[in-house]
C-alpha cells in the first residue's frame, strides 16, 4: 500500500505524456524485498500456479525483465519467498525449556505456517540444502540432544522427525490445490469416505474401519499425535526420562 499517490486512471497505458520531474513514478524503485513480498502476496492469494513473472511484474507495475535484475530466476524467487516466511515463523517461536515441548512447538509452528502458506510445503522438497532447512534441523536436533539421545542415534532420530514434518507439509500443500477449495472440506471428506466404503471390505479392511473418522478428523491434532508417537518411540528406545 504505502502512500498511494493520486493517479488519474487512464485505462490503457498510463500517461506517458506528463513528466513532472519524478513525481509521476508511482513505484519508489524496485527491490528484492519488494519483489519477494509481492510474490508472497500472489502465492498466498492465488496459489503457486498464479505466480508468474508477468503477473508479478504487472502487480509491481514494471516490466517482466526488470525482476531479473534483482532475482536470478524463479527458483530463487520461490526459495527467497519461503525463506522469508520461515524466518518470520521462527522469529515468533516461543522458547520452550522442556525439549519434548520444544519439538512439539516447532512442529506445530511448521504445520500452521504451511496451513497459511501451503506453497511453502512443496518448497522444502526443492532446495533441501537451504539455510532455512537447517534452522528446522537444528530446531529438532537441539532438543533431541538435551533429551539425552545418544550421539549415534541423534542423526536417525532427527531425520525421522524431519521427514515426518516435511511429509505432512507436502501433503497439506497438495490438499490446498484440491477440490476442497471449491467444495467445503466436510462434504468433500464425506464423499471420499463414501467411496472408501464402497471398496471390497475383504481387500481393504483398514480403509473401511477408518473411513468414518475421516470427515470429522482434525488434521492439526492428528499431526501432533504423529510427533508424539515418534517422541514416544525415541523415549522408549533411549530412556532419559525427563519429559511430560
Which stretches of the chain bind a copy of itself, using CB under 8 A? 122, 124-126, 128-129, 134, 137-138, 140-142, 144-145, 151, 154-160, 162-171, 173-175, 177-178, 192, 196, 199, 203-207, 209-210, 213, 217, 222, 225-226, 228-237
Crossing angle between the packed helical segments 131-147 and 151-176, to the nearest 10 degrees:
130
Set of cell numbers at residue 152: 549415534
> Within the chain, how many helices (H) and strands (E) appear?
11, 0
Contacts of 141 (CB under 8 A, 6+ apart): 154, 158
Among residues 8 and 221, whose Cβ is nearest to a copy of itself? 221
With CB under 7 A as the rule, give the number of residues binding DNA. Answer: 20
Which of 15, 37, 64, 134 lies at the binding interface for DNA (CB under 7 A)?
64
Supply φ then ψ for residue 220, to 5 degrees.
Answer: -65, -45
Q: Quick one: what does residue 168 bind among a copy of itself, DNA, none, with the CB cut-off 5 to 8 Å set by partner type?
A: a copy of itself
Among residues 63 and 216, whose Cβ is nearest to a copy of itself? 216
Contacts of 171 (CB under 8 A, 6+ apart): 121
59 scored as a contact of DNA (CB under 7 A): no
Among residues 62 and 204, whose Cβ is nearest to a copy of itself? 204
177 scored as a contact of DNA (CB under 7 A): no
CB 118 within 8 A of CB 173: yes
Interface pattern 29-48 for DNA (x via CB under 7 A): xx------------------
Cβ neighbours around 214 below 10 Å, total = 16
Stretch that binds DNA, among 60-68, 87-95, 112-120, 169-177 (CB under 7 A): 60-68
Q: Quick one: what does residue 108 bind among a copy of itself, DNA, none, with the CB cut-off 5 to 8 Å set by partner type?
A: none
Residues in region 72-91 near DNA by CB under 7 A:
73-75
For residue 53, CA distances in Å to 35, 64, 124 come to 10, 6, 22
Distance (Å, whole) CA 152 – CA 183? 48
Among residues 3 and 202, whose Cβ is nearest to DNA? 3
Amino acid at each position: 500500500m504505502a502512500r498511494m499517490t493520486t493517479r488519474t486512471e487512464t485505462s490503457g497505458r498510463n500517461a506517458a505524456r506528463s513528466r513532472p520531474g519524478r513525481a509521476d513514478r508511482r513505484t519508489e524503485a524496485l527491490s528484492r524485498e519488494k519483489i519477494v513480498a509481492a510474490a508472497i502476496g500472489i502465492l498466498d492469494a492465488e496459489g503457486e500456479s498464479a505466480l508468474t513473472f508477468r503477473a508479478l511484474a504487472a502487480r509491481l507495475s514494471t516490466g517482466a525483465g526488470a525482476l531479473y535484475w534483482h532475482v536470478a530466476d524463479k527458483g530463487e524467487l520461490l526459495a527467497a519467498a519461503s525463506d522469508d516466511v520461515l524466518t518470520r515463523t521462527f522469529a515468533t517461536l516461543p522458547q520452550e525449556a522442556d525439549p519434548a515441548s520444544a519439538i512439539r512447538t516447532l512442529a506445530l509452528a511448521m504445520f500452521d505456517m504451511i496451513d497459511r502458506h501451503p506453497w511453502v510445503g512443496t518448497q522444502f522438497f526443492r532446495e533441501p540444502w537451504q539455510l532455512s532447512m537447517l534452522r528446522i534441523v537444528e530446531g529438532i536436533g537441539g532438543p533431541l540432544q538435551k533429551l539425552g539421545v545418544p550421539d549415534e542415534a541423534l542423526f536417525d532420530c532427527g531425520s525421522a522427525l524431519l521427514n515426518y514434518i516435511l511429509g505432512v507439509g507436502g501433503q497439506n500443500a497438495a490438499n490446498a490445490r484440491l477440490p476442497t477449495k471449491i467444495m467445503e472440506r466436510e462434504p468433500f471428506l464425506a464423499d471420499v469416505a463414501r467411496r472408501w466404503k464402497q471398496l471390497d471390505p475383504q481387500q481393504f479392511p483398514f480403509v473401511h474401519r477408518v473411513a468414518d473418522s475421516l470427515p470429522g478428523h482434525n488434521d492439526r491434532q492428528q499431526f501432533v499425535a504423529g510427533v508424539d508417537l515418534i517422541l514416544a518411540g525415541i523415549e522408549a528406545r533411549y530412556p532419559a526420562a525427563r519429559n511430560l
